Structure 1
Amino acid sequence: MRLDRIDLNLFVIMDAIYRERSVTKVAQQLNLTQPAVSNALSRLRQTFDDPLFVRTPEGMMPTPVADSVIADVRKALGLLNRSVGINARFDPLRSDKKFRLAMNDLAQSLVLPRLQARVRELAPSVTLSSFYIDRQSAVEELKNGSLDLLLDAPEVNARDLGQQAVTQLPYVVAMRPQHPLANTDMTLEDYLANEHVHVSSRRTGRGQADIGLHALGVSRPIAMRVQHYRVAEEVVRANDLLWTVPKILANRTNLIQQPLPFDVEPLRWNLFWSRSAADDPANLWLRELMIEVLQPLSTS
């Protein structure tokens, strides 16, 4: 590959196609004609001797070669941008950027309402998309640029990622008013003798309560596992099950709350981003806004 014969603008187009999965959208974003983008893609294919993107019903899907080089392409573009002052500013009022976030349903319910309000106030044409995907996929999508930010537990494998601790949420035990323990001072023996509902996105994931109990050499009986917090709430409303849940969410229900009868670490969330986007003005702006929204949750 002769670097002196390569138009660096081709890599800008490659990055955009990888992100948008559409030649038409890229043409609109970059203010180019669709034939110009198609011609650039043809030249990229010649350069790499690979199709790079294959047309499917879901859009232009990257080949393994495109997947393998996109991180380096983006890193190089970032370095060039910083060197020559391109993209030195992010103007929220004028931007129509589409940010992509990954977080679970609890985080979405606590974060997105206020985040959307702040974004609409500061950047009226910016849009947000939030998804829940497994941690490994989220990390890969951060690295390849398909995601802008991930909000998750500190246990994420954060190599090649930037991160910042942003909030911690203490737990309580919640139950319906008809539960036999609703009007008692719950003991550890009570907690262990009653059945529980547990929320986890993974099929066998442990909760903070299970980790705390393991340190005591005991375990609790879990009658039901679900993936979503709102589902757990409905289950507890209809059954005599205990639910160990962040207090901030329990406060939004009419369930009875009791303190945990043993030590449990709070639910901690970190904000993660690709190191290649660490100095990107748009990513930095969104990170600061997310931190503004998240930090007050710790005191709620």
Structure 2
Amino acid sequence: MTSRRGEDQLDSHLLRMFCLLISERSVSRTALKLNQSQPAVSLALKRLRAILGDPLLVREKSGMVPTERALTLLTHAKGALAEIDRMTVALESFDPQTSRQVFRIGAPDYLAPLFVSKVVERIRQEAPYVQLNLQSLGPDFDFERSLAEGDLDVVIGNWPEPPPRMHLSMLLEDEIVCLVSARHPLVRKGFSIEDYQRAVHVVPMPYSISQRGVIDAMLASHRIARDERVVVQSFTLAPHLLTNTELVFTTTRHFASFYADFLPLCILPSPIAFPAMRFYQLWHERNHLSPAHRWIRRLLGECGSQIKSAATPPVRQ
């Protein structure tokens, strides 16, 4: 990682600066994230270039872009920082009231809004200076690599078979229901499996290429086909498409309840006995013993427990 000229000069501060510069591809954005002046970051980049014997960032029409060597070194730098973190974790202290830690959490956009709001409420109460970044997961997003390299601290998911290389703890379970317009004929008629198969459905795009979701897996195992007429990129758009149509949206109760409270929608019991959707948090070994990460994982778990212990709202018919 170091050159002979600078083998005694590359400390953990410069390593972190290097990782952020290459990831952000911008001196100004790096300065903002580190709460430092641009001249100080520019000076650090100059030192890094001298130590590593490479321009690292070069200017193009679209802005600054990393060199091939910089991208190669980035993986090594993140690995070195992970080892340093493991060596010093016992010396760390974490005070939520004063910490300015940035927590990066990856989650699907159909995570219960009530859960997310409780998480934000707790953080604002207990750690007023902490920054929370919520990263939406998508089919092209390599969350395992992001956890391993430290770009994400925690990932919240609901895959039937979570990745075995990660630590895991359960957050909450949620019933799968069907959300429809309040004027949908099924509200008065009732809902059978045959109705479900005949209905026109709105479905989200998958957010994982390698993992099939609970709903799709269950339908496939029972060879139940549905008419997926409308496909949307975001879960949050689907409820708005139901109000003046006969579309059916299969989702979790907490998610459905949030939208049924302010849109003319009804929640119907699913005629298919889907298993409960289980949400859990995943994290990498690199953060397992960190006091700050243990704090945020405990907070997420407690918020999940509050959701689980709350009374289940009645079905609206």
TM-score normalised to structure 1 length: 0.81
Output aligned runs, 1:165-184, within 5 Å.
165-184=170-189
Partner of 1:280: 290
Aligned length: 300
Tell me how far apart the structure 2 counterparts of residues 191 and 132 of structure 1 sit (CA, whole Å).
29
Which piece of structure 1 moves more, 122-131 or 225-234? 225-234
Q: Does 1:75 align with 2:85?
A: no
Partner of 2:122: 118
Partner of 1:242: 248
What amino acid does structure 2 have at the position aligned with 1:8?
Answer: D
Query: Identity percentage over the alignment?
Result: 27
How far does the alpha carbon of each residue in 1:81-126 deviate from its partner, in whole angstroms, 9 at most, with x for none?
4435686111211112232222232227233321111111111111
- Closer, same or farther in 2 for the Cα pair 1:250/1:44, shift >3 Å? same
Aligned residue for 2:220, secondary structure, equals helix
2:204 to 189, 199, 202: 199
Partner of 2:54: 50
Partner of 1:257: 267
Tell me how far apart the structure 1 counterparts of residues 49 and 272 of structure 2 sit (CA, whole Å).
61
Residue 219 of structure 1 and its aligned partner are, at CA, apart by 0.8
Which piece of structure 1 moves more, 67-76 or 289-298? 67-76
Output aligned runs, 1:128-139, within 5 Å.
128-139=132-143
Tell me how far apart the structure 2 counterparts of residues 25 and 82 of structure 1 sit (CA, whole Å).
28
Tell me how far apart the structure 2 counterparts of residues 59 and 86 of structure 1 sit (CA, whole Å).
40
- Closer, same or farther in 2 for the Cα pair 1:149/1:51, shift >3 Å? farther
What amino acid does structure 1 have at the position aligned with 2:251?
Answer: V
Residue 246 of structure 1 and its aligned partner are, at CA, apart by 0.8
TM-score normalised to structure 2 length: 0.78
Tell me how far apart the structure 1 counterparts of residues 167 and 283 of structure 2 sit (CA, whole Å).
5
Tell me how far apart the structure 1 counterparts of residues 138 and 269 of structure 2 sit (CA, whole Å).
31
- Closer, same or farther in 2 for the Cα pair 1:69/1:286, shift >3 Å? farther
Partner of 1:5: 8
Structure 2, gaps ≥5 residues long = 313-317
Tell me how far apart the structure 2 counterparts of residues 37 and 87 of structure 1 sit (CA, whole Å).
27
Check conservation: 1:138, 1:147, Cα contact below 8 A.
Answer: no
1:289 to 299, 307, 312: 299
Check conservation: 1:202, 1:227, Cα contact below 8 A.
Answer: no
Partner of 2:223: 217
How far does the alpha carbon of each residue in 1:36-90 deviate from its partner, in whole angstroms, 9 at most, with x for none?
5434433433443333334579876544433333344233334334435686111
Partner of 2:315: none
- Closer, same or farther in 2 for the Cα pair 1:108/1:58, shift >3 Å? farther
